[in-house]
Structure 1
């Protein structure tokens, strides 16, 4: 009965007796489809793409014929949904707009079909790129953006919305709502603990998704109780694993110490039992955590690593490269004690990421690439983040789930899947990423919104991005 049904379906789709067949832009045959929710691999499949969606999937051996404009042989290859980078930045001021725009090519060339822009000062340009990409007039990933960050008076980052009272908090959230942002990003350079918690609570009351750094003047419990949806970076979760978290919080609140001066104490007072309580709070409140391990490792070793011959440096514009100087000079001028502390912190983060995964806290893979974040290159850094997560103890499947699957769940978007009716944002790999996570870099074809880009096309994207 199944065979009869399959033959009828095949005939209707591809050999339809007088009726015009569906207009398929591409068909990928004999391919292995990876289900990133289960890890199951469906072998010998044909995937038909029409417009910007997946039209249908059928066993390759059951096909009578295929009428797709582009026929792709997927024999021995692995098809999965496009990757998501869940923490990037487009920023640096208007004079860096074009250099930021050219970075879009790097994401697509690396199989990243969606990015989450975690705050910057180029919101007008980013919103324009969003529309151009959606309309098919610009090559680039789907962009979900927070718009400007919310922070306190005298904020570190240009373009931030500065708040110091309830009225300013409401005004800031009103402006973000008018921008139709996808989530609210809160930064911790100047905002006090009270206003930080108020921003979260008010945003949640409005139904807005929230993520952010976390001032050391509040606890993880206060933050999760307020309703935060994601915590960016591991500095803050690590503090929640300290047996002295409350004492450290009070010391920061009373200006007896600061963020960086607290980190050594945070590491030395890590408690497995307290950590378990914190992990439980994160799970109970459905809070995502963004480890950003790769950038942490890169910045922790700036004092001893020469990046001037990095392959990807040639794709970074001269103005953006100039923004790297701040972190480079800080590393050069750092005391021996600080350098050691930073490297210890890097190791602590690797251990913590593994513990979070073991305890089923939801993680998001994010590179933190963008201007000012030295040598953390758009595109390739997401692959390095996935490798770092596997090195921390995640399986390749778990690492891949922190990308598109968890990214969509955090933003409450449609789950990326390879099924009829789903968005045709796909990556065709030459090798199985479930066996070796570095196989995510072995890309044969990228499909973005139904448009296929061959290996040659991807190479040309990189060439056009070269300075």
Structure 2
């Protein structure tokens, strides 16, 4: 198998020698020695609290924060704090979660990837789930530095390196060829204290894929995966899959030709893209709804990652090369966008039309999954390789797609908060505004239950108790923009490779 790098082995040894750092609290922002003990550190007063569990709007509330936790939610006028923020006319929501991000592109891009962290915070994304890349050692260190308050960024959960077969096209994977190597890979991931296990199907034989799901479940490890087209949703759910990554994997179960698609995918006579097109073109809603209800009964969730798929599907109609947000993306990361763009440019008219049909059918599954009781998470697939899909702002683009294709703003917010936190087992710590929970909060200028676009109108972010007003958020963005501009200048000054 492909073993961990020396850096990852060292990190595993360090982690094995100490307790896993606490994830919930950041250090107190103010020395309380000379402070009035009756006063909390921060209060957002006279605001409207959005109860994402019930959909209620709790007007004229004071929300008090101390030592990184919400300590009181009271009628306006009750709070006593050393720092008071006027929330009148504004709406307070829990910090947002992005459940599918990537850091990668090679060691040369470590700094560019680290600069993605403030982009999340500046857009109200206070927690992210890293779904594997080729910088796992750095990501694991960032995770723990953030937890200790040594690095500003969203709370970070990570799979570490993902499990794949021999000859994977993705760098940084743990490649396995047999059960013994799979067991060793799971041992290594446990030594790294990963937050979940990511399994993909590029080169991993189907029997080992299922063995990985079952092995992780026996160890009590949460899993997420790309599903081999040869397997059914029923099979992977029974094996213990925690979450399906990307909506396209849910298409096939709605086709009356599912068995044919599975068999031809297994014997290599049907390419993946053609399988998706066939599934979309033969989709039956009644059949799909029954399959999704079985999926829900097993407790398997799905992270659709719609917006990035929309970008790729409609590259023939929308030119993103002038996107304003490119000013925040380093030149090395931008260069990784080329492979999807170039591949899409080779498509003929029939292939382009098929891209559109597959996307529209995939996105239309959202209300079906919701009706079936499947836990719909929300993640973006932002990071390296995924063209014009941007960290931070991308979550708001994703939420727009959820509403466009049939979820309500409340259901969408629940996916971005409660459901994401609950999936990773942190529902008692995060995901809603309640006493005792981590103080990850976003103060908005408009009501997101009326219009999901209101989540973009951010007045302030509270990150584990630290208050960042609009000026501080803008400063984060400007710092990233300035560093990116400097990298661009250096990049352009370099002579072209021979």
What TM-score do the two structures reach when normalised by structure 2? 0.88
Alignment partner, residue 45 of structure 2: 29
Tell me the distance in 2 between the aligned counterparts of 1:203 and 1:399: 30
Structure 1 position 20, deviation (Å) = 3.8
Alignment partner, residue 62 of structure 2: 46
Q: Secondary structure at the match of 1:98?
A: helix
Matched, 1:427 2:442: yes
Q: Secondary structure at the match of 1:261?
A: helix
Matched, 1:281 2:294: yes
Which runs of structure 2 are paired with 1:68-467 in the superposition (5 Å)?
Answer: 68-413=81-426, 414=428, 415-466=430-481, 467=484
Tell me the distance in 2 between the aligned counterparts of 1:95 and 1:22: 50
Contact 1:192 1:217 in 2 (8 A): no
Matched, 1:55 2:68: no
Tell me the distance in 1 between the aligned counterparts of 2:189 and 2:38: 42
Tell me which moved more, 371-380 or 51-60.
51-60
Contact 2:400 2:453 in 1 (8 A): yes
Contact 2:247 2:363 in 1 (8 A): no
Contact 2:100 2:380 in 1 (8 A): yes
Contact 1:252 1:258 in 2 (8 A): yes
Contact 2:46 2:87 in 1 (8 A): yes
Q: Secondary structure at the match of 1:25?
A: strand
Structure 2, unaligned stretches of length 5 or more?
1-34, 485-498
Tell me which moved more, 437-446 or 417-426.
417-426
Q: Deviations over 1:269-319 (max 9, x none)?
A: 212232122111111101111111111100111233211221110000000
Q: How many residues align?
A: 446
Tell me the distance in 2 between the aligned counterparts of 1:372 and 1:264: 23
Structure 1 position 127, deviation (Å) = 1.4
Structure 1 position 23, deviation (Å) = 4.4
Alignment partner, residue 19 of structure 2: none
Structure 1 position 122, deviation (Å) = 1.0
What TM-score do the two structures reach when normalised by structure 1? 0.93
Q: Secondary structure at the match of 1:444?
A: strand
Contact 2:134 2:161 in 1 (8 A): yes
Structure 1 position 402, deviation (Å) = 0.7
Alignment partner, residue 8 of structure 2: none
Tell me the distance in 1 between the aligned counterparts of 2:448 and 2:121: 18
Structure 1 position 97, deviation (Å) = 0.7
Structure 1, unaligned stretches of length 5 or more?
1-18
Tell me the distance in 2 between the aligned counterparts of 1:364 and 1:446: 22
| Structural RMSD (CA) | 1.3
Q: Secondary structure at the match of 2:60?
A: strand
Q: Deviations over 1:169-190 (max 9, x none)?
A: 1011111111101111111111
Tell me which moved more, 405-414 or 439-448.
405-414
Tell me the distance in 2 between the aligned counterparts of 1:263 and 1:422: 42
